Amino acid sequence: MWFVARRLLHAVPLLFCVVVLNFVLIAATPGDPVTILVGDFPAPPGYVEQVKREFGLDQPIYVQLFRYLGHVLTGDLGYSFANRQPVSTLILGRLAATLELTLTALLLASILGIILGMLAARWRGSWLDSGVQGVASAGYSIPDFWLGQILILIFSIWLGWLPSQGNMSVRGAPEGFAGFLDHLRYLLLPALALSFRYLALIARITRAAMLEVLSADFILAARSRGATEISIMVGHALRNAAAPVITVIGYNLGFILAGSALIETVFGWPGIGRLLFDSISRRDYPVMMAILLMVSVTVVLANLATDILHRMIDPRVGDR
């Protein structure tokens, strides 16, 4: 428990830096949110000044920064210029949708990737191994938004099995468990498209880690005791190969969150990816910064979870 508290404390200065850096970077980019707010019409100079004052944009940059930090600390993420509503209300529902999509994709990628990697390592050099390697290469080289479009083409347009846009039936969405199933039908294609790349990565890492462990001395010792191959694979090899695999899964959550922006656009998924895209094109700075902050927090939490898992699996970690 001390370890968790210490790690959370470490995260505070990190998140602080993230917030400051985001703020400064955005302030340094060319373009002025006021022009977007006011619009293309030739506005009287007095009106522009008034809008600037209203949003505090007439203050020096460091004053703006300190005010922003103060607000973030109290949980106030600001006000969206473009949407004219508080950022927190705007983000919360969409963050949940994005996390649902990304975590599902990561779960799919982890389960399938680990199973494929294990099988490939166990039957190294067989057709199964070559197949897994082929899938892995494909996963690396196929862009996920293109894969998404192909999936839509096959499963929505040609076969008509699954819906292609949104996250639930707009009209007559059923209640209860049926509603959940309805929702899953919407989730499946975008999650698959998003997961493929990570499935490839996890399969590769699992295969390499398993191969290394399988040649370890203690595997030979377990065989000399008459242990079955299955108990060796699951009881010794997978456990010992878990550390690098968990690291890869945990540290890729940030990338998968970033990657979801494209997939959400392709599948019309109402997550923060689309919101980020929109807020960039509209120079909606508070929304941009809030999203970046949320992503940072998620990555920090994912890394923390990774470290905790490491400690649970390996008694030697942090034991000094």
- The site for other proteins (CB under 8 A) is made up of 215-218, 220-228, 231, 235-236, 239-240, 313-316, 319
Pick 231 or 281: Cβ nearer other proteins: 231
Closest approach, Cβ 306 to other proteins, in A, equals 17
Closest approach, Cβ 235 to other proteins, in A, equals 8
Closest approach, Cβ 94 to other proteins, in A, equals 40
Closest approach, Cβ 319 to other proteins, in A, equals 8
Pick 244 or 268: Cβ nearer other proteins: 244
Indicate the residue type of 97: A
Integer Cα distance of 253 and 194 in angstroms: 12
Integer Cα distance of 71 and 147 in angstroms: 41
Pick 74 or 215: Cβ nearer other proteins: 215
Closest approach, Cβ 5 to other proteins, in A, equals 25
How many secondary structure helices (H) and strands (E) does the chain include? 14, 0
Closest approach, Cβ 216 to other proteins, in A, equals 7
Closest approach, Cβ 226 to other proteins, in A, equals 3
Indicate the residue type of 6: R
Pick 108 or 213: Cβ nearer other proteins: 213
Pick 39 or 226: Cβ nearer other proteins: 226
Pick 67 or 239: Cβ nearer other proteins: 239
Integer Cα distance of 294 and 297 in angstroms: 5
Dihedral in degrees, nearest 10, Cα atoms 65, 69, 75, 79:
0
Q: What is the DSSP letter of 216?
A: S
Dihedral in degrees, nearest 10, Cα atoms 123, 207, 147, 150:
10
Q: Under 8 Å CB-to-CB from 255, ≥6 apart: which residues?
A: none
Closest approach, Cβ 120 to other proteins, in A, equals 16
Pick 29 or 215: Cβ nearer other proteins: 215
Q: What is the DSSP letter of 283?
A: T
DSSP H helices in 74-175? 87-122, 127-141, 144-151
Closest approach, Cβ 229 to other proteins, in A, equals 9
The HSE-up count of residue 280 (CA atoms within 13 Å, CB side) is: 9
Task: Judge whether 156 and 273 are in contact, CB under 8 Å.
Answer: no
Pick 69 or 309: Cβ nearer other proteins: 309
SS3 content of the chain, % helix, strand, coil (to 5): 75, 0, 20
Pick 208 or 211: Cβ nearer other proteins: 211
Q: What is the DSSP string of 27-77?
A: HHSS--HHHHHH-SS---HHHHHHHHHHTTTTS-HHHHHHHHHHHHHTT--
